[in-house]
Amino acid sequence: MSKVIKKAYAEEMKQGYNLRTAMEEASRCLLCHDAPCSKSCPAKTDPAKFIRSLRFRNIKGAAETIRENNPLAGCCAEVCPYGQLCEQACSRTGIDKPIEIGKLQKFLVEMEKREGMEFLHVEEKRDGKIACVGAGPASLACARELALFGYDVTIYESNEKAGGVLTYGIVPSRLPQEVVDFDIATIEKLGVTFKFNETIDAARLEELKAEYDAVFVGTGLWKSKVIDIPGKDLDGVVSAIDFLKDARLNKENMTLGDTVLVIGGGDVAMDCVTTAKQLGAKATIVYRRTIEEAPADIDEVMAVQSMGIPIIQEFAPGEIIGSKGHVTAMKFNGRDNESELTMKADQVVFAIGQAACDTTKDIKAGGKVFTGGDMVNGGKTVVQAVAEGKDAAAMIAAYLNK
């Protein structure tokens, strides 16, 4: 595996702004009244306000607006689907092209980090202890808001690091770990306690309910769906989330086949196939419909195509073939019910959807239990999980003050 390929996996691909280019971009903003960009951000990051500050050279004020409104400002700047949210709504689109809101946000979060700006302070401590289960975007946002309100917050997390999908799923070339760590550090500084390597099940949840005044559960979707076909239990057949986690944790020591088939047509499938390719495998996507019908973001599909990765369309999994317990090939059936395809494979990655884990799938909101993020909305975006975490914090504060 060459160093160049590993660099492609580990290093961010996006080019950012500098002060001059950021100011130029901000000067295109129409300073709209009742700005559509701000109305379309689920987390209420308020782009119109921060772009206005930037335009008047108030860098600190612009960075402050972002951090105060969005606890995961750095991560959202990297991975938000702006094209479907703020940038799609931007009034400038009708004139020429939308303001590059995501890139401006990225620039301002970088300035915040570089200049050591600190905006968040707990004004007054309040009585009330809250447990947050899971350390993904929903729980982190909920914990940050509650800590700012002055409450005592503890996060319980199965993994050994915080971030959820940000740390264990999304490819680092799209979301560098230092961006995730910086956002999390701003939350830790408020005194939020993290307890790692602890999986909360129904019995432990009852204990947390007795110990804390309120409990937020934001445990996401960590059980991968598999198709029940012959050969699914062979060595070398893995789930998307296990594959991505292995890549992020073990890097060059991960289990990677020479020939990897990724099954699926969503963003997660695109992340798996780029990971496999960037780490040195011969990687291919196989999807049961046409790529136009696929749920993946068009930019992600284009990124995959630009890397020269083949996308086989309209073939559904039929059987996985193995030798001595390990996968060697996979058979597919054509959508036309006539064609068949057999492809060589050392590794098959199923990226066909996620579900809640058995430990948390039956947890429902009610009483002193609040929920949010992927486990409730069925799997959306980071910014949606942040929004739901913020909303839950407001509900918890209202519940504690009733």
Q: Is 402 exposed, middle or buried (0-12, 13-18, 19+ CB in 10 A)?
A: exposed
CB nearer to ligand FAD: pick between 28 and 182: 182
When CB distances are held under 5 to 8 angstroms depending on the partner's kind, the choice from ligand FAD, ligand SF4, none that residue 36 binds is ligand SF4
Using rule CB under 6 A, residue 222 touches ligand FAD? yes
Smallest separation, CB 26 to ligand SF4 (Å)? 8
266-295 binders of ligand FAD (CB under 6 A): 267-268, 271
User: Amino acid identity, residue 118?
Assistant: E
Give the Cα separation of 86 and 35 in Å (integer).
10
Amino acid (1-letter code) at residue 192: V
Interacting partner of 268 out of ligand FAD, ligand SF4, none (Cβ under 5 to 8 A depending on kind):
ligand FAD
- If contact means CB under 5 to 8 A according to the sort of partner, which of ligand SF4, ligand FAD, none does residue 30 touch? ligand SF4
In angstroms, give the least distance from the CB of 89 to ligand SF4.
6
Q: What are phi and psi of 35, to 5 degrees?
A: -60, 130
Question: Residue 192, interface with ligand FAD (CB under 6 A)?
Answer: no
186 binds, among ligand FAD, ligand SF4, none (CB under 5 to 8 A by kind): none
359 contact partners, CB below 8 Å, separation of at least 6: 199, 200, 201, 202, 219
Residue 57 CB, nearest approach to ligand SF4 (Å): 16
* CA angle (227 as vertex; 224, 230 as ends), nearest 5: 130
**Number of residues binding to ligand FAD, judged by CB under 6 A:** 38
CB closest to ligand FAD, residue no: 136
Q: Which residues bind ligand SF4 (CB under 6 A)?
A: 29-32, 35-37, 47-48, 51, 90-92, 99, 101
DSSP state of 133: E
CB of 336 to ligand FAD, least distance (A): 31
Nearest Cα residue to 105 out of 175, 12, 14, 16: 16
Alpha helices by DSSP H, 115-253: 137-149, 165-168, 177-188, 202-211, 240-250
Three-state DSSP state, 4: helix
Of 63, 135, 238, 396, the residue at the interface with ligand FAD (CB under 6 A) is 135
Nearer to ligand FAD, 197 or 339 (CB): 197
Of 358, 365, 398, the residue nearest 218 (C-alpha): 365
- Nearest CA among 121, 52, 45 for reference residue 82: 45
Report how far residue 299's alpha carbon sits from residue 56's, in angstroms, rounded to the nearest whole number: 32
Q: Where are the alpha helices (H) located in 155-310, listed in sequence order? A: 165-168, 177-188, 202-211, 240-250, 267-278, 298-306
When CB distances are held under 5 to 8 angstroms depending on the partner's kind, the choice from ligand FAD, ligand SF4, none that residue 165 binds is ligand FAD
Between 218 and 318, CB nearer to ligand FAD: 218
- Picked from ligand FAD, ligand SF4, none, the partner binding residue 91 (CB below 5 to 8 A depending on kind) is ligand SF4
Within 365-394, the residues that bind ligand FAD by CB under 6 A are 373-374, 379-383, 385
Helix (H) or strand (E) holding 78: helix 73-79
Q: Which is nearer to ligand FAD, 137 or 322 (CB)?
A: 137
Q: Which residues pair with 237 in a beta bridge?
A: 348
**CB closer to ligand FAD, 13 vs 19:** 13
CA 386 to each of CA 84, 137, 170: distance values in angstroms, whole numbers, following the listed order: 17, 5, 16
CB nearer to ligand FAD: pick between 237 and 375: 375
Does 264 help bind ligand FAD (rule: CB under 6 A)?
Answer: no
DSSP one-letter code for 366: B
Amino acid at 238: V
To ligand SF4, the closest distance from the beta carbon of 39 in angstroms equals 9
If one asks whether residue 25 binds ligand FAD (CB under 6 A), the answer comes out as: no
Kindly list the residues in this chain that would bind ligand FAD in the complex (CB under 6 A): 79-80, 133-139, 156-159, 164-165, 169-170, 199-200, 218-220, 222, 244, 267-268, 271, 357, 359-360, 373-374, 379-383, 385
